[in-house]
Structure 1
Amino acid sequence: MILRGQKNFYSRLFGWKFEKPLETMDYYLIETEGLKGESGPGGGLGKRQGADQRIMNYIGVPSVDDYLEKVEKLGGRVLMPKTSVSGWGYLAICMDTESNTFGLWQDEEKTE
């Protein structure tokens, strides 16, 4: 019910389109538009995992491993190490030097 309310809110506010990639997952992919109507950055919406969970940005990178190394060299922290999301890619959660959390995302290479 909560996700339906959030989907409705953001869809009506920004015109975002939501797609549920797997029926068994409580998660939606988000399609956005830029200011001039061009395709914008994608996103996702999932069920809150705890009362203190907040909105978090995920940044696409070519290699999660390389960026985790950079995070630590720059004084940040790795909160969740590289984790495989089967069939999709790899995810890690980090904290910057000001205690803001963010995610790193690497698409899984598709073989044809």
Structure 2
Amino acid sequence: MAHGDITHIDIPVGDTQAARTFYSGLFGWDIAEVPGFEGYPMWRAPNQISGGGLAPRDASFTTPRSYVEVDSIDDTLAQVSSLGGKVLMGKSQISPTSWWAIFEDLDGNQLGLYEGVTSAE
């Protein structure tokens, strides 16, 4: 994917098994846990391009969050701040080759950033 592409969508859920049954039945999503990401089942749409995760719901995560791929999280977070947005979570490692961050736009919408490559093998 390229800089600016939406690469992942997290959906907050309270009951992971019920959510798996609901979304696989409703949309035909393939939902599975990936080794190393236990407790965070990931979904893939039938087009084999769209995907995301069923993330545990908590007080700070109550609505779906899209993640945008960027060339540099550090540069993008600097732009977020200079354009009036707010960094909610700085760059954090997912794997040795991938990172994420969260920011809030001018209207209070939360979006995630993704940089790198995550191997599911």
Where on the TM-score scale, by shorter chain, does this alignment land: which range? Answer: 0.7 to 0.9
Alpha-carbon offset, residue 60 of structure 1:
1.8
Residue number in structure 2 paired with 1:86: 95
Q: Unmatched 5+ residue regions in structure 2?
A: 1-13
Q: Unmatched 5+ residue regions in structure 1?
A: none
Q: How many residues were matched structurally?
A: 106
Name the stretch that deviates more: 47-56 or 92-101: 47-56
Q: Give 1 or 2: higher strand fraction.
A: 2
**What amino acid sits opposite 1:55 in the alignment?**
P
Q: Does 1:27 align with 2:40?
A: yes
Q: Which has the larger radius of gyration?
A: 1
Q: Cα gap change, 1:52/1:44 in structure 2, threshold over 3 Å: closer, same or farther?
A: closer
Alpha-carbon offset, residue 107 of structure 1:
2.1
Residue number in structure 2 paired with 1:48: 57
Q: Cα gap change, 1:11/1:88 in structure 2, threshold over 3 Å: closer, same or farther?
A: farther
Equivalent residue of 1:99, what SS?
coil
Residue number in structure 1 paired with 2:19: 6
Residue number in structure 1 paired with 2:115: 106
- CA distance in structure 2 between the aligned counterparts of 1:89 and 1:25, rounded to whole angstroms: 17
Note the alpha carbon deviations across 1:66-103, whole angstroms, 9 max, x for none.
Answer: 21122112211101000112345111010000001111
CA contact (8 A) 2:95 2:118 kept: no
Q: TM-score, normalised by structure 1?
A: 0.79
The structure with higher relative contact order (CA 8 Å, sep 6+) is 2
The CA RMSD over aligned residues, in Å, is 2.4
Q: TM-score, normalised by structure 2?
A: 0.74
